[in-house]
Amino acid sequence: MSEYRVGTGFDAHALEEGRRLVLGGVWIDHPRGLAGHSDGDVLAHALTDAVLGAAGLEDIGALFPSGDPELAGADSLQLLTQAWEQVRASGWQLANADVVLVGEEPRLAPHRDEMRRRLAGALGVDPELVAVRATTTDGLGFAGRGEGLAAQAVALLVR
């Protein structure tokens, strides 16, 4: 009999002038990028926490501390891959994952397929197993005011 586990992840970062915007491993032409110790990719960070949580492992901050100077500007897809290697070593496989960006802009639709491919590639799975979606807050909160972006993810693992 198969064992299933669900994990959730959440991340949020402020938008900042002078930084490149990367979401789901895709560089997006935008006047501001996400502040963070790494590249600030909230989609990759939320998905990393979701798969780690489902496997019962420590969170992204424990694996990749923001105070570690070697991780300054790190590629979040590489961090996702490293975390996923630990999850796989515990015998887990991805059944599916769903990642949702929360913010008023940028528009995700032109980049969605590439984001799915890159996130799935970091996990070594078919892109059909990774959904990438977006929603707004209709102007409410920090995301609605354009101060930052957030992401939520859920992952279902099986072994």
Q: 63: domain CATH number?
A: 3.30.1330.50
pLDDT tens, 85-132?
999 999 999 999 999 999 999 999 999 999 999 999 999 999 999 999
Tell if the pTM clears 0.85, that is, is over it. yes
The domain of 111 spans 4-158
When pLDDT is averaged across residues 26-53 and rounded to a whole number, the result is 96
Evaluate the CA torsion angle 94, 100, 105, 109 in order and state its sign. positive
Q: Which residues contact 76 (CB under 8 A, 6 or more apart)?
A: 22, 25, 38, 39, 40, 41, 44, 45, 48
DSSP H helices in the chain: 42-54, 60-63, 76-89, 112-123, 141-144
C-alpha of 2 from chain center: 26
Per the structure, the count of domains in the chain is: 1
